[in-house]
């Protein structure tokens, strides 16, 4: 029984809640009591008798070598094993023990249990947390196993702890940040995509920044212990506001919750905060953790429903897309249609054009002066429409040139002009704006050539080419735009790029709807372009060095790459952009851009991250190069545009 629905959206794995159980030979009864009666969706159950040790098995005969620790695989159907059981690897194993016998037993047992789980078609196994800060042999064995796994996920259990001055507990020796434990383990396992994290959420929590790091890691489950729960005024279990925020944040990242521990709240005869239970079921027969499950379901259901825009963007979350090549390629009708649906963008353009028209022509001259406006890169006409609506709104006379190089879009433009009766106002020009010889100069130049990184679709080069037919006192909309970057943890994106197993993909910038990421530091400006540009030393090449400081309470963090954004000034105070601190609300034309690193860089607490970005220009192409110089130097990515470039 799932947790419920969130505003009609129930595609997330987070709807499903599991329970951690003890070893039970009678697995069908275990499932029945926890799933059918308890309302849970799956169990995290040991696959092996906890008393089994390979060294205790007599090896006097071949028969004794048969696995003695598991029952028949026939007690459940393959679909039940796959859907309802997460295997829990024996918690006693210690592959880095000083005791040779324990270490050998641990290695044999780990491999036996994973092999058995694979045979059962189990989708995931929970690995116990390393016993101390040294985990090289444990990681070596897990890495060996990962090389032969097909689809199974391995969840490494890691406590959500980062102490400042306090000790974290005996089981982690004196390590004061459990993220370090995870980072050490996954580096030893080469960032394997099938190795994930199961976070143990405890009663005490680290800082918000420290927790935020995990949102960019491959967290698949959150194990919430019953001792995390407080008691509300009516005697029911509840969570503190900070715990609630963590759980709902994890829900948003498709992390499944697993409840663990003994019941600490006993309310015979009482109903739950959110009832998922048949009223005919006697409260005394209910699962001992049912009150906790009901509260988790309550948290899930009370979350804000996804907006229509978020529902549309669901399929694009963390999906790598190649950036557009607007000069080399002609856009397809579907691409135009997606852009044209973004009414917010065109409302902003209309506002900018209105202000420009009012500044250009005073009220006394409104009936006599005709403003010449050129839309360069007119597409299928949304900016033409916005300009004419602005003219109507301001009562100004307008003459429009719609310049478009895509012959297919020009066909649509001709149909639009005829349909709307704009023949006497709009002139269609089928030509590249850089090659067109305009019959007259423009008062206002309007374009929508901006990419996710501002200049990455060659707006500077295009507008520099079109600037020759703009009057000396003419207005460009947009008048300027700035790119921004920020370092991010993005384990999924990194593994998706890594899966291609080549250099080219690590040196390509991708358009991505960023979701499962951790933003490690506020974004900083990179390159700015202003139009019109009458500088005597005109060059669109740029270089910027940036220094990022990660908050000290965050702890160490892994940088997988950089998120890129832009903010544009259309005209005066009319802005348009996706930079996180000042995005245009409800606009969906642009996703962020992602610049990956070939080798992720671990930044220690208090260490600055020094980053270098170049915008390079050649006779036929424009490209970016980037690198990290501190704390650990990285190679310069995309040298000479060898992997990724935008054609002129």
The H helix count followed by the E strand count for the chain is 16, 26
Active site residue 457: yes
Given the structure tokens 């059981």, which residue do they identify? 85
* 609-617 and 621-630 strand pairing: antiparallel
pLDDT-based confidence at 577, cuts 50/70/90?
very high
Fold of 333-448: Rossmann fold (3.40.50)
**Which residue out of 20, 448, 579, 625 is catalytically annotated?**
448
Confidence (pLDDT) at 153: 97
Three-state secondary structure call for residue 2: coil
Confidence (pLDDT) at 326: 78
**23 annotated as a binding-site residue:** no
pLDDT(645) > 90: yes
**336 annotated as a binding-site residue:** yes
pLDDT digit string (tens) for 412-455? 999 999 999 999 999 999 999 999 999 999 999 999 999 999 99
pLDDT-based confidence at 538, cuts 50/70/90?
confident
**404 annotated as a binding-site residue:** yes
Instruction: Please state whether the peptide bond connecting residue 390 to the residue before it is cis, i.e. omega within 30 degrees of 0.
Output: no
Confidence (pLDDT) at 1: 58
Q: What is the DSSP-derived secondary structure letter of residue 36?
A: I
**433 annotated as a binding-site residue:** yes
**365 annotated as a binding-site residue:** no
Burial of 91 (0-12, 13-18, 19+ CB in 10 A): middle
The CATH class that applies to domain 13-306 reads: alpha beta
Residues of the chain with CATH 2.70.160.11: 481-647
| Residue partners of 317: CB distance under 8 A and separation at least 6 | 513, 515, 516
Confidence (pLDDT) at 202: 94
| Residue partners of 639: CB distance under 8 A and separation at least 6 | 625
* CA separation for the pair 199, 190 (Å, rounded): 20
Active site residue 63: no
CB 522, CB 644: distance < 8 Å = no
Residues of the chain with CATH 3.20.20.150: 13-306
Residues of the chain with CATH 3.40.50.150: 333-448
**Which residue out of 113, 457, 461, 579 is catalytically annotated?**
457
pLDDT(171) > 90: no
> Quick one: tokens of 642?
């060898």
Given the structure tokens 């379901």, which residue do they identify? 297
* CA separation for the pair 4, 175 (Å, rounded): 39
Quick one: what percent of the chain has pLDDT higher than 90?
79
* CA separation for the pair 353, 368 (Å, rounded): 19
Three-state secondary structure call for residue 294: helix
In 413-541, DSSP assigns E strands to 426-430, 442-446, 470-477, 480-489, 510-512, 518-519, 524-530
**432 annotated as a binding-site residue:** yes
Confidence (pLDDT) at 322: 87
Confidence (pLDDT) at 8: 52
* CA separation for the pair 219, 491 (Å, rounded): 10
Q: Say what the pTM is.
A: 0.91
pLDDT digit string (tens) for 213-257? 999 999 999 999 999 999 998 889 999 999 999 999 999 999 999
Q: What is the mean pLDDT of the chain?
A: 91
CATH number of 481-647: 2.70.160.11
pLDDT-based confidence at 283, cuts 50/70/90?
very low
């Amino acid at each position: 029984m799932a947790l419920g629905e969130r505003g009609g959206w129930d595609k997330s794995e987070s709807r499903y809640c599991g329970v951690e159980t003890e070893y039970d030979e009678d697995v069908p009864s275990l499932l029945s009591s926890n799933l059918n009666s308890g309302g849970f969706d799956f169990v995290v159950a040991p696959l092996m008798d906890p008393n089994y040790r390979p060294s205790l098995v007599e090896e006097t005969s071949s028969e004794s070598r048969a696995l003695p620790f598991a029952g028949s695989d026939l007690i459940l159907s393959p679909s039940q094993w796959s859907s309802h059981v997460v295997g829990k690897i024996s918690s006693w194993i210690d592959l880095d023990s000083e005791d040779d016998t324990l270490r050998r037993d641990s290695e044999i047992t780990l491999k036996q249990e994973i092999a058995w789980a694979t045979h059962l078609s189990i989708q995931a196994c929970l690995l116990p947390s390393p016993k101390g800060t040294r985990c090289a042999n444990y990681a070596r064995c897990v890495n060996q196993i990962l090389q032969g796994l097909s689809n199974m996920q391995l969840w490494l259990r890691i406590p959500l702890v980062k102490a400042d001055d306090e000790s974290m507990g005996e089981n982690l020796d004196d390590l004061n940040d459990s993220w370090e434990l995870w980072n050490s383990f996954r580096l030893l396992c080469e960032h394997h995509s099938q190795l994930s994290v199961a976070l143990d959420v405890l009663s005490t929590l680290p800082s918000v920044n420290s927790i935020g790091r995990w949102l960019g890691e491959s967290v698949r489950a959150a194990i919430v212990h019953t001792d995390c729960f407080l008691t509300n005024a009516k005697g029911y279990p509840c969570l503190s506001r900070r715990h609630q925020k963590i759980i709902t944040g994890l829900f948003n990242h498709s992390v499944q919750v697993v409840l663990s521990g003994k019941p600490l709240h006993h309310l015979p005869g009482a109903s739950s905060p959110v009832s998922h239970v048949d009223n005919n079921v006697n409260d005394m027969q209910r699962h001992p953790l049912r009150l906790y499950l009901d509260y988790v379901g309550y948290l899930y259901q009370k979350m804000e429903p996804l907006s229509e825009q978020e529902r549309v963007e669901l399929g694009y979350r963390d999906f790598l897309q190649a950036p557009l090549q607007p000069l080399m390629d002609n856009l397809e009708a579907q691409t135009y249609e997606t852009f044209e649906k973004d009414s917010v963008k065109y409302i902003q353009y209309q506002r900018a054009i209105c202000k420009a028209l009012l500044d250009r022509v005073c009220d006394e001259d409104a009936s006599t002066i005709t403003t010449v406006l050129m839309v360069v890169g007119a597409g299928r006409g949304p900016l033409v429409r916005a300009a004419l609506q602005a003219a109507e709104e301001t009562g100004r006379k307008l003459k429009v040139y719609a310049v478009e190089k895509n012959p297919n879009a020009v066909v649509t433009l001709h149909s639009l002009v005829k349909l709307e009766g704009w023949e006497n106002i709009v002139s269609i020009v089928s030509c590249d704006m850089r090659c067109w010889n305009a019959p007259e100069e423009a008062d206002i130049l309007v374009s929508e050539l901006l990419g996710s990184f501002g200049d990455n679709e060659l707006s500077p080069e295009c507008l520099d080419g079109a600037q020759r037919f703009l009057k000396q006192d003419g207005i460009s909309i947009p008048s300027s735009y700035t790119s921004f970057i920020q370092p991010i943890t993005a384990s999924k994106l990194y593994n998706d790029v890594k899966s291609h197993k080549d250099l080219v993909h690590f040196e390509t910038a991708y358009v991505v709807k960023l979701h499962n990421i951790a933003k490690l530091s506020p974004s900083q400006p990179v390159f700015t372009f202003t139009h019109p540009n009458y500088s005597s030393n005109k060059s669109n090449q740029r270089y910027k060095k940036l220094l990022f400081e990660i908050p000290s309470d965050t702890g160490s963090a892994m940088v997988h790459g950089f998120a890129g954004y832009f903010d544009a000034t259309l005209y005066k105070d009319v802005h348009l952009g996706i930079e996180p601190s000042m995005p245009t609300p409800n606009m969906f034309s642009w996703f962020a851009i992602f610049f990956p690193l070939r080798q992720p860089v671990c930044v220690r607490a208090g260490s600055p991250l020094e980053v270098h970005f170049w915008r390079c220009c050649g006779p036929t192409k424009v490209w970016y190069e980037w690198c990290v110089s501190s704390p650990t130097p990285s190679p310069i990515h995309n040298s000479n545009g060898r992997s990724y470039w935008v054609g002129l």
